[in-house]
Amino acid sequence: MFPTLDRSKEWQHICLTWESKYGRSEVWVNGRRYANRVYSKGHKVRPGGIAMLGQDQDSLGHDFDGSQSFVGKIKDLNMWNKVLSLKTLRSMFRGKEKTKGNVFDWSQLTFSKKGNVQIVEAV
């Protein structure tokens, strides 16, 4: 379901959406829908979880495979408790709107890093 990104571009805008009631999930790349499918219909996300970035875990909290690591840069990451409208999503891609997530907001996140990770301040 995840795209192979065009590495010739400096930045990619990626948005994943999912809603529980019908399980509809979509992947958007640079303002265009790339894929959609039904995923975990009716699932409830419980509070107090951990968002893991850049690494697939094969079992909860461990069994990491280095070949499944993300290599690249992440500039912003936000999460909302709703699926954003198409208008908002495209406006954010074009840089006309900067909406902070209400579940988490990149500028307010607390990080813990493991392995070969560098956190670089934006210029």
Q: How far apart are CA 12 and CA 23, in angstroms?
A: 25
How confident is the model over 95-116, as a mean pLDDT? 81
Identify the three-state secondary structure at position 22.
coil
Instruction: Give the CA radius of gyration of the chain.
Output: 15
Task: Report H helices in 17-115.
Answer: 86-93
Phi, psi dihedrals of residue 34, rounded to the nearest 5°: -100, -45
pLDDT tens figures, 28-51 = 888 888 888 998 999 988 888 777
Q: Which residues, in sequence order, are bridge partners of residue 55?
A: 69
Residue matched to tokens 């419980």: 46
The answer to the question of residue 123 being in a domain is: no
Residue 49 contacts residue 28 (beta carbons within 8 Å): no
State the pLDDT at residue 3.
63
Report which of 84, 76, 83 is spatially closest to residue 108, judged by C-alpha positions: 76
pTM: 0.69
Q: Which residues, in sequence order, are bridge partners of residue 24?
A: 38
The answer to the question of residue 90 being in a domain is: yes
Residue 90: CATH number of its domain: 2.60.120.200
For residues 15 and 6, the model is more confident at 15
CA distances from 95 to 63, 88, 89, 119 (A): 38, 10, 10, 23
pLDDT tens figures, 73-94 = 787 888 888 888 889 888 888 8
Given a cut of 80, whether residue 116 has pLDDT beyond it is no
Number of domain units in the chain: 1
User: What percent of the chain shows pLDDT beyond 90?
Assistant: 7
State the pLDDT at residue 102.
85
The answer to the question of residue 86 being in a domain is: yes
State the pLDDT at residue 98.
82
The answer to the question of residue 67 being in a domain is: yes
State the pLDDT at residue 1.
58
Q: Average pLDDT, whole number, for the chain?
A: 81
Domain that holds residue 70: 14-108
